[in-house]
């Protein structure tokens, strides 16, 4: 018998290597095995077993690895589907699905080492440290190595050698989760109960749960998860931002103590590996994480929940360019697992699937807590503030509301989707804006608490000192303009010196436990006002937050992308939903220079359906998704001429070879990034995937092209 083995390296076009299976070796599809490769021992995954005639010499598989079948056959099929649909190398998909340490030939399952006391009587000649250890076992029969970390391993080994202790294998150590949630049995409201029963009884596996903010979606998730775990199934619960996972962990930890695992990029490699193995071994029944959690090794997945399903961060931004929602749909097809897509502002395409009957639609129209209602939303025209002489970044209304909130000992959130102190540096003599040398963007000014300033590119991460003179005209009138979260925090502290202010953006949340600490401080009212970017704009449930202020709602409103209006509406609605989630009424103040914009007017009235219907009608007229499909191909090159020429050549070839499709070509909105120029070619039509697949069989793309199927960012 022979086995096709997959490796985490490029071998042909999504192919593996053929090895002979020794007669005494018991392996299955999905087994991890050790194989010889170029005088080294490597780890591979069995993709296929067969008895085909082989015309070349093959080497034998050396052995199976501890853990045996680490991927179920359906997971191998899933990996192949992701590779095929997203035009990605299969080895990159496997590297996305499996922890890095799995691929080392010497890796083992990270079980905890435990020590047990034998019945043998301890001699009086033991040393003092040995006696201390033996004394510990008089109160407890089993200790882990972690619990005995104060004692040298040599001392413990000497006790094993004397026959006083034995060493064994325990469970895999999971992360410790501190819960702030008061666990008590909750009875679902009638509206919630109908949805709970409907999701369990429906024949369609996929359901959209469209519920306004604060309507009790999380409690439905929890009780459905309890039902699935009681049936021996595993549940994957995903949030679009790592910042939202502490809240979900808090809500679920008390109910699933010891059965909860977390997967996201802020964990260390060792933590991710241990959590992965806890899921694979069945120790963890509830998996909470960001988009990569969709590939958790749940062998018996019964339910997948995507909270805030509309968020575009569910789309991977590097190869493989998968969308979590589509991967979840495929898992449901392969396993029969149920899927819940939860949101107060569903993606237009998801709502359309529900409206056309392809998936279920359940709605929650009321907030769950008695006396709680949607907050009042005010649009403040900042043009009028300028006309009356208010040059502050805060309107009079927002400043007064902040003062009242602080006086009432309540909390507020200030939202601005731009980090840093100032958005750019400008020469007032010649108008020159300081640009990044590697990217086609202006540099952002950052300021430390000590007052030191520097310039940063938010795309490549490059840093520069602020020049004393303008590099263009040698003038000295260089000034920072625009605002970022740092400046909002600074101006707020000047206005309210005794106010406790915290900031949450990419600059302040670099540590892996940043979000947990922030969430705990907010829950304990150690923070009066939280200033932040979009990571705080959704999902947070903070009963004492009664005021939300959007410092500037216009950022991103006029980007040349057909989804810009939808994204702005969703973001504003989600931010607004953080206010008044308990019995205290909420207030939302949105500052803007475009108060007449349809997305802001819809936000003011909390009108999702009218916005959806208008947006859908526009897309139908323009033949945009969901009425068509799109593939974006991007060429990247250090040479500007080579970049535009390659894009034009492919565009002309597409027009010749692919009929009945719309083909377009344009430079990227940020034309240069990381010193590489970027040009997009768009392929749009009824079935662009099959059209591109047929095209590539005759015309393989040259090095430098990146394929993004169903892109969420068009520019």
pLDDT in the model for residue 557: 84
Mark whether 99 and 130 lie in a shared domain.
no
Residue 55 pLDDT: 85
Indicate whether 432 and 543 sit together in one domain. Answer: yes
49 and 27 co-located in one domain? yes
- What percent of the chain clears pLDDT 70, i.e. is strictly above it? 98
**pLDDT at residue 180, rounded to an integer:** 60
**Overall average pLDDT of the 305-325 stretch:** 95
Domain-embedded: residue 540:
yes
State the distance between the two ends of the chain, measured CA to CA, in whole angstroms: 50
Residue 229 located in a structural domain: yes
Which of 334, 364, 394 is at the close of a domain?
Answer: 364
Query: Is the model's pLDDT at 114 over the cut of 70?
Result: yes
Q: Which of 153-157, 467-471, 579-583 has the lowest mean pLDDT?
A: 579-583
In a domain, residue 623? The reply is no
| Residues 464 and 521 both lie in one domain | yes
Same domain, 145 and 203: no
pLDDT of residue 258: 87
Q: Are 311 and 240 in contact (CB under 8 A)?
A: yes
Of 342, 364, 386, the residue at which a domain comes to its end is 364
Q: How far is CA 363 from CA 82, 239, 351, in A?
A: 31, 20, 11
Asked whether residue 571 falls in the same domain as residue 464, the answer is yes
Q: Considering all CA atoms of the chain, what is the largest pairwise distance in Å, rounded to the nearest integer?
A: 91
- Residue of 486, 443, 449, 432 whose CA lies nearest to 466: 443
The per-residue pLDDT for 407 is 95
Cβ neighbours of residue 331 under 8 Å, at least 6 residues apart?
A: 74, 78, 294, 301, 304, 337
Domain assignment present for 554? yes
The predicted-structure confidence for 383-402, as pLDDT tens digits, reads as follows 999 999 999 999 999 999 99
What CATH number is associated with residue 134? 1.10.10.10
Task: Examine residue 615 and state whether it is found in any structural domain, yes or no.
Answer: no
Note the pLDDT of residue 501: 95
Q: Give the sheet arrangement for strand 165-172, strand by strand.
A: 142-144, 111-117, 165-172
Please report, for the domain that includes residue 499, its CATH number: 3.40.50.300
Q: Over the stretch 654-665, which tens digit does the pLDDT of each residue have?
A: 999 998 899 999
The DSSP letter of residue 605 is: T
Instruction: Place 184 in a pLDDT band, splitting at 50, 70 and 90.
Output: low
Q: How many domains is the chain built from?
A: 5
What mean pLDDT do residues 609-636 have? 96
Band of pLDDT at residue 580, cut at 50, 70 and 90: confident
Nearest Cα residue to 680 out of 538, 510, 561: 561
> Is 334 a member of any domain?
yes
Task: Return mean pLDDT, the chain.
Answer: 92
Q: What is the mean pLDDT of residues 613-638?
A: 96
pLDDT for res 514: 82
Q: Provide φ and ψ at 524, rounded to 5°.
A: -90, 5
Tokens of 491: 């101006």
Peptide bond into 626 cis (omega under 30): yes
Indicate which CATH number applies to the domain containing 14. 3.40.1440.60
Looking at the fold, whether 297 and 429 belong to one and the same domain comes out as no
Position 424 scores a pLDDT of 81
Whether the predicted pLDDT of 77 surpasses 80? yes
What's the CA gap between 467 and 476, in Å, rounded? 9
Confidence of residue 543 (pLDDT cuts 50, 70, 90): confident
Domain shared by 419 and 510, yes or no: yes
Q: Is residue 464 part of a domain?
A: yes
Query: What would the two tokens of residue 39 be?
Result: 């005088």
Type and span of the H or E element at 618: helix 608-622
- What residue numbers bound the domain in which 224 lies? 190-364
Q: What percent of the chain has pLDDT over 90?
A: 70
Statement: residue 182 has pLDDT above 60: no
What average pLDDT does this structure show over 423-449? Answer: 85
- Residue 552: which pLDDT band, with cuts at 50, 70 and 90? very high
Residue 185 lies in a domain: no
Residues 258 and 399 in one domain: no
Q: Please, how many CA atoms are within 13 Å of residue 396, restricted to the half-sphere of its CB?
A: 8
Residues 129, 133, 134, 137, Cα dihedral to 10° = 170
- If DSSP codes are grouped into helix, strand and coil, which group holds residue 247? helix
User: 68 or 353: whose pLDDT is higher?
Assistant: 353
Q: What's the burial of 527, exposed, middle or buried (CB within 10 Å: 0-12/13-18/19+)? A: buried
Using CA atoms, how far apart are residues 524 and 519, in angstroms rounded to an integer?
9
Given this model, what pLDDT does residue 626 score? 96
pLDDT in tens, 698-710: 999 999 999 999 9
Torsion of the alpha carbons at 569, 572, 574 and 578, rounded to the nearest 10: -160
User: Do 336 and 471 reside in the same domain of the chain?
Assistant: no
Question: Is the N-terminal amide bond of 636 cis, ω within 30° of 0?
Answer: no
Considering only residues 302 and 434, tell me which one the structure prediction assigns the higher pLDDT: 302
Same domain membership, residue 458 and residue 359: no
- Which pLDDT score, from 0 to 100, does residue 530 have? 94
Overall average pLDDT of the 113-129 stretch: 93
Are both 64 and 123 inside the same structural domain? Answer: no
The domain boundary, picked from 609, 641, 658, lies at 609
pLDDT band at 14 (very low <50, low <70, confident <90, very high): low
Tell me the average pLDDT across 580-603.
91
Tokens of residue 437, six digits: 């040398």
CATH code, domain with 681: 3.30.70.600
Among 182, 169, 140, 171, residue whose Cα is nearest residue 258: 171
């Amino acid at each position: 018998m022979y086995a096709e083995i997959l490796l985490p390296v490029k071998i042909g076009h999504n192919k593996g290597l053929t090895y002979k299976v020794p007669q005494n070796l018991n392996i299955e599809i999905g087994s991890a095995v050790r194989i010889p490769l170029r005088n080294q021992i490597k780890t591979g995954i069995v993709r296929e077993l067969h008895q085909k005639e082989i015309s070349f010499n093959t080497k034998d598989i050396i052995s199976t690895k501890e853990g045996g079948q680490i991927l179920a056959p359906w997971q191998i099929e899933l990996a192949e589907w992701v590779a095929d649909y997203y035009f990605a190398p299969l080895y990159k998909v496997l590297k996305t699905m499996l922890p890095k340490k799995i691929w080392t030939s010497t890796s083992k399952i990270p079980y905890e080492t435990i020590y047990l006391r034998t019945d043998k009587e301890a001699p009086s000649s033991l040393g003092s440290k040995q006696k201390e250890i033996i004394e510990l076992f008089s109160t407890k029969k089993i200790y882990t190595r972690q619990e005995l970390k104060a004692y040298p391993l040599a001392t413990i080994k000497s006790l094993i050698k004397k026959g006083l202790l034995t060493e064994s294998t325990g469970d895999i150590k999971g992360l410790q989760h501190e819960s702030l949630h008061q666990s008590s049995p909750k009875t679902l409201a009638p509206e919630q109960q109908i949805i709970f029963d409907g999701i369990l009884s429906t024949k369609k596996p996929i359901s959209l749960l469209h519920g306004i903010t604060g309507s009790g979606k999380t409690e439905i998730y929890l009780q459905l998860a309890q039902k699935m775990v009681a049936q021996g199934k595993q549940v994957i619960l995903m949030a679009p931002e790592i910042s939202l996972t502490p809240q979900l962990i808090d809500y679920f930890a008390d109910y699933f103590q010891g059965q909860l695992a977390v997967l996201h990029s802020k964990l260390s490699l060792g933590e991710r590996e241990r959590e992965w193995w806890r899921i694979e071994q069945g120790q963890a029944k509830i998996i909470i994480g960001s988009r990569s959690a969709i590939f958790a090794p749940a062998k018996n997945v019964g339910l997948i929940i995507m909270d805030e399903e509309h968020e575009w961060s569910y789309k991977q931004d590097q190869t493989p360019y998968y969308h979590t929602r589509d991967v979840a749909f495929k898992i449901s097809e392969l396993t029969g697992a149920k899927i819940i897509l939860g949101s107060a502002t569903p993606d237009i395409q998801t709502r359309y699937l529900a409206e056309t009957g392809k998936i279920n639609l359940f709605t929650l129209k009321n907030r769950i807590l008695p006396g709680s209602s949607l907050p009042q939303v005010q649009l403040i025209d900042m043009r009028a503030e300028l006309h009356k002489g208010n040059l502050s970044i805060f309107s009079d209304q927002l400043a007064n509301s902040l003062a009242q909130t602080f006086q009432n000992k309540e909390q507020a959130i200030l939202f601005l989707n731009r980090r840093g102190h100032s958005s750019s540096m400008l020469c007032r003599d010649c108008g020159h804006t300081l640009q990044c040398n590697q990217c086609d963007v202006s540099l952002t000014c950052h300021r430390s608490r000590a007052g030191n300033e520097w310039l940063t590119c938010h795309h490549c991460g490059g840093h520069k000192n602020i020049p004393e003179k303008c590099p263009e005209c040698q003038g000295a009138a260089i000034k920072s303009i625009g605002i970022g979260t740092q400046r909002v925090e600074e101006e707020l502290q000047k206005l309210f010196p005794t106010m406790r202010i915290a900031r949450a953006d990419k600059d302040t949340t670099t540590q892996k436990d940043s979000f947990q600490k922030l969430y705990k401080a907010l829950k304990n009212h150690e923070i009066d006002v939280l200033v932040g970017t979009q990571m705080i704009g959704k999902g947070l449930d903070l009963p004492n937050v009664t005021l939300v202020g959007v410092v500037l709602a216009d950022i991103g409103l006029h980007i040349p992308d057909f989804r810009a209006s939808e994204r702005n509406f969703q973001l504003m609605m989600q931010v607004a939903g953080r206010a008044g989630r308990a019995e205290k009424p909420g207030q939302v103040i949105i500052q803007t220079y475009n108060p007449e914009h349809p997305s802001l007017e819809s936000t003011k009235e909390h009108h999702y359906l009218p916005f959806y219907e208008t947006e859908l009608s526009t897309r139908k007229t323009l033949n945009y998704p969901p009425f068509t499909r799109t593939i974006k191909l991007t060429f990247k090159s250090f040479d500007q001429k080579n970049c535009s020429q390659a894009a034009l050549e492919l565009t002309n070839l597409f027009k010749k070879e692919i009929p009945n499709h719309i083909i377009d070509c344009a430079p990227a909105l940020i034309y240069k990034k990381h010193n590489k120029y970027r040009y997009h070619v768009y392929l749009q039509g009824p079935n662009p995937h099959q059209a591109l697949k047929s095209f590539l069989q005759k015309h393989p793309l040259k090095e430098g092209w990146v394929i993004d199927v169903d892109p969420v960012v068009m520019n």
